Structure 1
Amino acid sequence: MAEIQTTGTGAQIADAGPASQQHDENHSKRWLILAVIGLAQLMIVLDVTIVNIALPDAQKALGFSNGDRQWIVTAYSLAFGSLLLLFGRVSDVIGRRAMFLIGLVGFAAASALGGSAPNFDVLVLARALQGVAGAMLAPAALSLLSTTFTEAKERATAFAVFGGIAGSGAAIGMLLGGVLTEYLNWRWTLFVNVAISVIAIAGAFSLIPRHPREANRPSLDIPGTVLVSAGLFGIVYGFSNAESHPWSAPGTWGFLLGGILLIVAFTWWQTRSKHPLLPLRVILERNRGGSYLAMFLTGIGMFGVFLFLNYYLQEILKYSPVMTGVAFLPMVAALMVTATISTTQLYPRMGAKILVFGGMLMAGGGMAWLTGISLTSSYAANILGPLLVIGVGMGAVFAPAMNAATSGVQAHDAGVASAMVNTAQQIGGSIGTALLNSLATTALTSYLVGKNASSQIVQANAAIHSYIVAFWWAAAIFGVGAIVCGLILRSGKPDPADPDAAPAIHA
């Protein structure tokens, strides 16, 4: 029998000796482990949107203002985005299984607190704690997936499932949030995580094996941790603040500038530190760097469809929250099917370059197609087609990019490499929400100049014009992303004998 030993060149096979029986037992549980990891990942990504639909009901119940409402969303993204790299490295130090379990318990506790929140302050605190727990869970989940599946075909299938969940979780969150809010209570958008966490905790305890700690496990880089956590906080906060304040406000540009300077200082420090939090070798390898960039740009672009199509369906076409969630299901189905085909059939044959390039072009084309919406549009004629194209495009990007981003990394860097995937997507999403929302607001204001702003028809057309502007910008981001990522990613398929190897053919 054999066990996996990881070296700097990838996964190698070595004699296992007495450990072979235990390895076989763990290996036979790998698909159940995937189910547990997938459940945790679903909880993380759906919580980005599940509370959004419940916000009006929560606002009525707890009596907070429109200005305060954004903090229910921002508190989660701030904690999640700024702490991902820290907990990615901590999971390398204390073990991925331990970090996974701590994150699940923390998410359950925070969700229970939020669901029973008596006032606005407690709800915001609970959402921030959910973000902290999510930052523990996300990198641990992805690195567990990477180390559990080492055979090329099985690894492709596992990443197809994981990538499909990552890409569709926001839409699933909208549907589930609508159902829970409409038929139960807004508090159940938080309580549902307790049930999910309990199932995942039981599965993790019984299925995920304990691994002996590595002798050369990394030490924590405290200065690097402070710099990158503060820098990411500044960037996420600055873009979040842009949703309710002008870009010229000190609370917007000040935090953005400070965050960028801190990230520059962090990068410099990583070249000096004996135990860097994010070794630059992790991101400078072309396939991983290109994959992180693809996740970042897709995170920006995908919020165009989720945010503004949600507004269009509910405010213009008068869909209910539940029907709005149902409307996104064809996109989810297309994304899942494409993610599976891309990683199980196409990625082993051609690598990530062609898939990411083609997928981003398709997603951009779908966004451009959505610019044809109007007051008289119908779902079947004007929305279903673009959603299917966007779903196919994002499915071709997510799973292959995640696979390439975690391939070839040394075992003691697996957690931080996985954290970078989630960090790229989360920061991209935060930037996308603020940037596209700001562009849409400016477009709406410009449209109303010289028109009868009190007319409902004019207001509706102005809103549609703002959504169309956002869709065009999202299409442009996908288009530029396709070109840049296509230039960075290497050509050629991965070595089938070693799923962690670099592509066999180089550009």
Structure 2
Amino acid sequence: MRRETTATTTLALACAAQFIVIFDISVITVALPSIQRDLGFAPANLQWVVSGYTLAFAGLLLLGGRLADLCGHKRVFVSALTAFTAASLVGGLATVPAVLIAARAAQGVAAAALAPLALTMLTTTFPEGPLRTRAFTIWTALGLAGGASGNLFGGVLTEYLTWRSILLVNVPLGVPVILVAARFLTRRDTSAHGVRLDVPGAVLATVALIMLTFGIAQAHTHAWTDLATALPLLGGTAALAAFVAVETKLAPQPLIPPRLFRLPGVSRGNLAMLLGGACFHIPMWYFLTLTMQDVLHYSAVQTGLGFLPHTVVMLLVGLFLTPRLMRFVQPRILIATGALIAAGGFLWQSGITPSSGYGTGILGPAVLVSFGTGLVGTPVSTTITNGVASADAGAVSGLLNTTRQFGGAFGLAVLLTLTATHATDAPAVLADSYQRAFRGIAVILLALAALAPLLPAQHLAGRRRPVETGPSAEDRRDPRNVQ
């Protein structure tokens, strides 16, 4: 009975952590226009409210996955969630842009330790078999619920309270979880001998991601040859080169073993994940939120409700249709098909104007975009992880999540360079600006569709292996038939 109680508590804590981490990625988007007006964000800097979180999360995710092996599950869980809650409080009380961006980055750092630990807790608590499968299903569903509910709750909280409430709500959510974890979570100090933290690699990776994204973002208001753009890009490139040198030559236990990139699924699959991340979720939510509020003049609640078709279609296709299709259709075909369908949806979305109605301006494109998104996500993940040895599963999973998060932040910075820099809030001008971003997303998706045929094929569970048509087993055993 005590063991069952401990397992149930661990599952509840892991699900709570996953919900909070994913919720805070999506909840902020609907509040962006309100944050911009209240704190006086320049249009080019508004993206850092989102990217500050995702870049810190992406850059330190691999390091965070190993932190618990050295410091223990309970200690890292309580410390990371406490830091996340404190950063949420600081962000909710921020009065200047710099404080809010710093708080969001601090949230990302804490999330980088919290997210992989939640999955590790389930793996070490539940044995392989039905119990672990059920635990993973519940954990995945709570993560999807966090992402799906973020836009809606973000709209409600912003409309009826204030944008600050979307950060301050983490305090009453986080404190009870911290107290339960401190009281009931089993102390699981692995004391893993020989495990080392590749701190230099993690720092260089984070610096490279931030500087490259910042350099691209600077191109929105400066020329590519301007020092404000060129210096961050050069610095980010140098940090990336140093990261590669550390991982290949110096690190005794690199965050990403270089040999993994010799696997076609890992190398090409992560490129596909990068392109997909540069279109879906963060960039899509960002530009759709601004379009609905700045061009169509929807309220925060109306914007949150406007995202419901995206959420419903994406969940239905991703959870029910795609897994069934993957039994009979190669993942690379599903990726190419989904990318083309979503590209068509974004091209439709790029025709939105201030006079567009919800049906043709939002709902129609949403069905195509979300249907295509639902076809792409799981096939890309399975392509990356297929055939990877169990000893490398953690590193590959961490790389997958890092690529997805960085793709979102980097893609947003690139797409912002396509938008106008006019200091005006005229709906027609803003509509033209966001139209270019949607067309840019469509182009990236066409590149993803072109890459898909180069991804490795996989064995399909629902398709029978070919029947052997050569000599029968009896004939092969007959010495007279041996030539």
After TM superposition, the score normalised by the length of structure 1 is 0.76
Match of 2:459 in 1: 492
Match of 2:267 in 1: 289
Correspondences of 1:67-146 after superposition (within 5 Å) = 72-95=49-72, 98-117=75-94, 121-142=98-119, 144=121
Match of 2:480 in 1: none
State the Cα distance separating 1:327 from its structure 2 match: 0.4
Q: Distance in 2 between matches of 1:149 and 1:263?
A: 39
Q: Which of 254, 263, 268 does residue 276 from structure 1 map onto? A: 254
Correspondences of 1:160-309 after superposition (within 5 Å) = 162=140, 165=143, 169=147, 172-201=149-178, 211=188, 213=190, 215=192, 218-272=195-249, 273-302=251-280, 303-309=282-288
Percent identity, please: 34
Cα deviations by residue, 1:105-154 (Å, 9 ceiling, x for unpaired):
21111112222345555434322322221222233345556776855997
Q: Distance in 1 between matches of 2:34 and 2:386?
A: 39
Correspondences of 1:394-405 after superposition (within 5 Å) = 394-402=373-381, 405=384
8 Å contact from structure 1 (residues 83, 135) kept in 2:
yes
Q: Which of 404, 412, 430 does residue 463 from structure 1 map onto? A: 430
Judging changes above 3 Å, is the alpha-carbon distance between structure 1 residues 368 and 285 closer, same or farther for their aligned structure 2 residues? Answer: same
Q: Which moved more, 1:101-110 or 1:285-294?
A: 285-294
State the Cα distance separating 1:95 from its structure 2 match: 4.9
Q: Distance in 1 between matches of 2:295 and 2:45?
A: 25
Structure 2: 5+ residue stretches without partners: 467-483
8 Å contact from structure 1 (residues 149, 158) kept in 2:
no
Cα deviations by residue, 1:320-353 (Å, 9 ceiling, x for unpaired):
1210111011101111122211565344665743
Q: Distance in 2 between matches of 1:101 and 1:403?
A: 32
State the Cα distance separating 1:56 from its structure 2 match: 3.8
8 Å contact from structure 2 (residues 91, 103) kept in 1:
yes
8 Å contact from structure 1 (residues 97, 208) kept in 2:
yes
Structure 1: 5+ residue stretches without partners: 1-20, 446-452, 497-503
Aligned residue type for 2:195: P
Cα deviations by residue, 1:233-281 (Å, 9 ceiling, x for unpaired):
3223223434444433323232122212322332233222322121124
Q: Which of 296, 301, 316 does residue 337 from structure 1 map onto? A: 316
Aligned residue type for 1:333: V
Aligned residue type for 1:173: G
State the Cα distance separating 1:199 from its structure 2 match: 4.8
Q: Distance in 2 between matches of 1:391 and 1:84?
A: 27
Cα deviations by residue, 1:222-243 (Å, 9 ceiling, x for unpaired):
4423432322232232234344
After TM superposition, the score normalised by the length of structure 2 is 0.80
Equivalent residue of 1:441, what SS?
coil
Aligned residue type for 2:236: G
Judging changes above 3 Å, is the alpha-carbon distance between structure 1 residues 67 and 336 closer, same or farther for their aligned structure 2 residues? Answer: closer
2:302 maps to 1:323: yes
State the Cα distance separating 1:379 from its structure 2 match: 1.0
State the Cα distance separating 1:195 from its structure 2 match: 2.6
Aligned residue type for 1:260: T
Judging changes above 3 Å, is the alpha-carbon distance between structure 1 residues 174 and 328 closer, same or farther for their aligned structure 2 residues? Answer: same
Q: Distance in 2 between matches of 1:190 and 1:376?
A: 33
State the Cα distance separating 1:99 from its structure 2 match: 3.6
Please tell me the root mean square deviation across aligned C-alpha atoms, in Å: 4.0
State the Cα distance separating 1:313 from its structure 2 match: 1.7
Aligned residue type for 1:269: V
Q: Distance in 1 between matches of 2:404 and 2:231?
A: 23
Q: Distance in 1 between matches of 2:42 and 2:392?
A: 44
- In the alignment of these two chains, the number of paired residues is 462
Match of 2:479 in 1: none
